[in-house]
Structure 1
């Protein structure tokens, strides 16, 4: 809903710009054909530009793929669908949609009115003009290639001017313009500039038609008197090209107006780059929102993982690179949330001086000068901590107003190498399997207990008892909970009977996909070893139903196991020129379960 509302705002902003450009620069010009093109292309551009990546026209961007890796399966909990709430944004979009339906029904009614007139008319010919002769009085009008007139109410001289006028509408396909802006009004009924634009489009078509009629040699004064007489008779049809008495005064003024100088064509040349730049600026203004959406998305995906470093794409990446020196942001996807994440910006020395702030680079406390002078190109990521108690646990400083933690690319690279192969998870049957000589962190339902408190809990209340070891697992999950986490040799994790029942209840309707195969809704994963999990992804809401249909309405968990990592080998074979054989000689290393021949080439 939020994306839809953003799109609506962007479209209507540019539609407003388009009308204002016409009103202040083009309205008084006699280049009616150019004005028509301006409205058509401008309105279509307004609906299309939010989807255009302008930055990709000028720069080539590379995107790094990222994968979520779970710490352990038992940490996953699918939110209860019943807790979803209707937001104010949802109500706004629904209200806009309901009124759009009302205006669409009104448009359908107008079409049926035209159909009624058509049914009460018959084919006729006057001189060389084909038309539909209506049985009751109406204001003459045209719709696509049909001209509708109640012939009996007009004199011969009037008919000549009427047909000369309406045939221009027909040959110019002006009905397309009318219908297009009627549809735009349906979806943008709340925008006052759209109502004004709709009126301006119709008015411009009449100016264009009058100009082309007079260019054929029709007497100007006689034609104007005919307009005055014709527009006072019969019923007018709203959705058509018809004689309109309300705009007659303005039309006569424009017919008598001196033709605009060709120098004034420069106004169109001026508006083109203005609207391109406006479109780019509206799109680029979404950069900060896109960054926030990435963080929000990481919170919605209930997977515990290491901090995720994301290389930003397109306009966002360019904006970040130009303003803060890097297009990589660090997203903390763990359950331990900081007050807010930070990206390594250009710090203002004046804002940092005179405050009780502390600065850390690669685990070492440094001065403000050292922090600010660190080469920007060597920065991997920066985080800010503002919670005083959390800062005290990290660096032992009391009443600190903020802690700036910087990680260099060099440090991050070495940390990654040290942590790659150290993690493992082992399921325990009982507390008797816990090594009493080792120092563990004891986690019970997310609460850190002492060893004695944990061991005092009855075995029947310890569900999914797990021994976890590995620096990366401990750092992500427990560094903010246990100040001296590095001193421990692992984690003993368990959940209570109540949490186990709640977990089963929450996943009872969840669809599980393991290695691309549907395991059904509410599948039992007791036999799935957490150590066998390569990656896990959680889909919710529209993301789930789009991929898996109605089966995914209550959530989907996609699990990829390590067993499936090298399951398939794809081989391209070549026919032998000597014996025309179709056989393929395949040499593989390791356990290969299946060989797929994708095709034989001559």
Structure 2
């Protein structure tokens, strides 16, 4: 429903633009038929143009975020689902549309009842119905309804000529289209003004055509002044309107010069501005040569059976591009809709306020921070297996990962800080008492972790008992690995001799 409401907003903005051009530039001219076409085309354009979108592609370097595969315990800082204002807005809009649709249907039923309960006579392709009610003459498609008792023969002759113009030019279609648009855009105040001006222009057309068939312009104007009664319906063409003064003014106005028609083209740059502002979508793509591998199973040193957790860190220094990386990565790879709003920065360009809204097929999650000082970093965590979304302070929701230490032992702790460079990530690891720094190197979309300070030489590598090279190891598909052992220090030398002083990596692949 969010998509529909956004479409409704765009359509309303477009209709308002068209109305502004008509009201400011066209309504006082006598190009009544051209104005009618302008108003009708404007309605159709406002409904169709929001579907047209232009896409610009921007390539960026690899993100500074990381993805791990872990047995992560639930975060203590889970943001509960809050009120979904899109749903509330949709319900309120739907109720309003239903009310106006019901009103329109009741008008049609009332009109049908009136037409079917009176006899009609056909003459020259028109259906004439004489009624006894005190209503103003009106036409609906090819039917003209009037009360002959209320008007003299001369007045009635002028009235019928006026209504015949409405019938011949199918003005009823304009009114029905406008009423349907009002049901759709009832929340748009400009739509109601648009309807008023459209009806007024139809009366100008009928007045001009009718008076051309008469010998006395003065008599026609006097008839307009004399005839007053209640309008029957907003979906019929009524002879009497509360716009009598304007109609008489337009009847006596000198025809506008054709050179003024240029004013219609003013709408073109406004439409271009609309498309550029609202219908241009920027798609951010990661450069292929630097794109990080987002498959956690390829991080060989981090392998552990468990859930796939995708975590992004947002801090005070996160730029617009950084936030877009989060947005488009989650959208393109995991079909999550992410919106960052309410972003405020201080003089140092540090974020002090930010709001995050994330929605998926399974629900929504919101998170907001607003301070006078720079924000603390927070994590956006998505479990692709369960579809669970969590947002919270990164200090409380850091992911627990397995590392290999200097002695080849597995250590479990939490990542405290991340730096990123060209093909290199530095992780500061803490197990509670001390910190070690690990470097993450990426080659051919494979990620390997080494503890800093223990990189004097490369370790020995054995795959299925055969000595091989690091390059061959990096070619392995992690899905084919059954077991991996890492030996360092005395343990490695004891098993393989002095040649293993830099460590040994043993890999056993799955048997086919």
Instruction: Give the TM bin, normalised by the shorter chain.
Output: 0.5 to 0.7
Select the structure that is richer in helix: 1
1:20 is matched with which residue?
20
SS in 2 for 1:338: strand
Q: CA deviation at 1:490?
A: 9.5
In the TM superposition, what whole-angstrom CA distance separates every residue of 1:381-405 from its partner, at most 9, and x where no partner exists?
xxxxx97999xx99xxxxx999454
Q: CA deviation at 1:264?
A: 0.7
1:387 and 1:244 map into 2 onto residues whose CA distance is 70
Q: CA deviation at 1:152?
A: 3.0
In the TM superposition, what whole-angstrom CA distance separates every residue of 1:552-577 from its partner, at most 9, and x where no partner exists?
xxxxxxxxxxx9xxxxxxxxxxxxxx
Going from structure 1 to structure 2, the CA distance change for 1:3 and 1:245 (only over 3 Å counts) comes to closer
Correspondences of 1:313-332 after superposition (within 5 Å): none
Q: CA deviation at 1:151?
A: 2.4
In the TM superposition, what whole-angstrom CA distance separates every residue of 1:353-372 from its partner, at most 9, and x where no partner exists?
xxxxxxxxxxxxxxxxxxxx
Going from structure 1 to structure 2, the CA distance change for 1:72 and 1:406 (only over 3 Å counts) comes to closer
2:504 and 2:256 map into 1 onto residues whose CA distance is 84
The 8 Å contact of residues 133 and 150 in structure 1, kept in 2 or not, is answered as: yes
1:488 and 1:149 map into 2 onto residues whose CA distance is 102
SS in 1 for 2:145: strand
Q: CA deviation at 1:9?
A: 1.4
1:167 is matched with which residue?
164
SS in 1 for 2:144: strand
2:275 is matched with which residue?
279
Matched, 1:94 2:112: no
With structure 2 as the length reference, what TM-score do the two structures score?
0.57
* Match among 242, 253, 267 for residue 246 of structure 1: 242
**Number of equivalent positions:** 343
Correspondences of 1:373-392 after superposition (within 5 Å): none
Q: CA deviation at 1:406?
A: 4.4
Gaps of 5+ in 2: 60-66, 75-79, 286-293, 300-307, 324-346, 350-392, 404-415, 425-440, 447-470, 489-502
In the TM superposition, what whole-angstrom CA distance separates every residue of 1:283-339 from its partner, at most 9, and x where no partner exists?
12x54xx769xxxxxxxxx996779xxxxxxxxxxxxxxxxxxxxxxxxx9522222
Q: CA deviation at 1:115?
A: 1.0
1:116 is matched with which residue?
113
Going from structure 1 to structure 2, the CA distance change for 1:95 and 1:160 (only over 3 Å counts) comes to same
1:237 is matched with which residue?
233
Matched, 1:339 2:322: no
2:219 is matched with which residue?
222
1:94 and 1:142 map into 2 onto residues whose CA distance is 36
The 8 Å contact of residues 231 and 240 in structure 2, kept in 1 or not, is answered as: no
2:185 and 2:167 map into 1 onto residues whose CA distance is 27
1:295 is matched with which residue?
none
1:566 is matched with which residue?
none
Q: CA deviation at 1:72?
A: 8.4
Q: CA deviation at 1:237?
A: 2.3
Q: CA deviation at 1:194?
A: 0.7
1:489 and 1:85 map into 2 onto residues whose CA distance is 49
1:36 is matched with which residue?
36
Q: CA deviation at 1:3?
A: 1.7
* Match among 259, 265, 274 for residue 263 of structure 1: 259
2:20 and 2:312 map into 1 onto residues whose CA distance is 46
Higher RCO structure (Cα 8 Å, ≥6 apart): 2
1:156 is matched with which residue?
153
1:142 is matched with which residue?
139
In the TM superposition, what whole-angstrom CA distance separates every residue of 1:463-505 from its partner, at most 9, and x where no partner exists?
xxxxxxxxxxxxxxxxxxxxxxxx99699xxxxxxxxxxxxxx
Gaps of 5+ in 1: 63-69, 78-82, 293-301, 308-332, 353-385, 395-399, 428-433, 441-486, 492-530, 533-562, 564-602
2:159 and 2:297 map into 1 onto residues whose CA distance is 75
2:486 and 2:151 map into 1 onto residues whose CA distance is 106
Matched, 1:181 2:178: yes
1:490 and 1:87 map into 2 onto residues whose CA distance is 52
1:407 and 1:156 map into 2 onto residues whose CA distance is 93
SS in 2 for 1:189: coil
